[in-house]
Each structure stands twice: as structure tokens, then as C-alpha cells.
Amino acid sequence: MFRNFIKSESGATLVEYGVALILAIVIGGGGLVALAGQVNTNMGDTNTTLQTR
């Protein structure tokens, strides 16, 4: 039973999908954090511009 588990590639596929999912979450989260600062700056600039007109 243990030998069959080691030879089976379905577990490796599951691990690969897990690693890909974790990478997507980390990269996506990092991208959102990076964009959040720029969006905040743009919204602040827009607010300031609208208040001065």
C-alpha cells in the first residue's frame, strides 16, 4: 500500500495545484496591496481637484 502511494502521481498533482494556488494568492494579494497605494493617491488628488473648482 505504501509503495503504491509513493508511485502514484495523483498526490504530486494535488501538491502542484496547491503550490500554484498559493502562488496565485500571494502574487494577487501583493498586486492588490501595491495598487491600493496608487489608487488612494489618485482618489486623494481627484478629491483635492474637485474641491478647488
pLDDT digits 0-9 by tens, 23-49: 999 999 999 999 999 999 999 999 999
How far is residue 33's CA from residue 27's CA, in Å, rounded to a whole number? 10
How far is residue 6's CA from residue 13's CA, in Å, rounded to a whole number? 13
pTM of the model: 0.54
The half-sphere exposure of 36 on its side-chain side, counting CA atoms within 13 A, is 6
Q: What pLDDT, on a 0 to 100 scale, did the predictor assign at position 18?
A: 87
pLDDT digits 0-9 by tens, 16-30: 888 999 999 999 999
More confident residue, 13 or 25: 25
Are 11 and 5 within 8 A, CB to CB?
A: yes
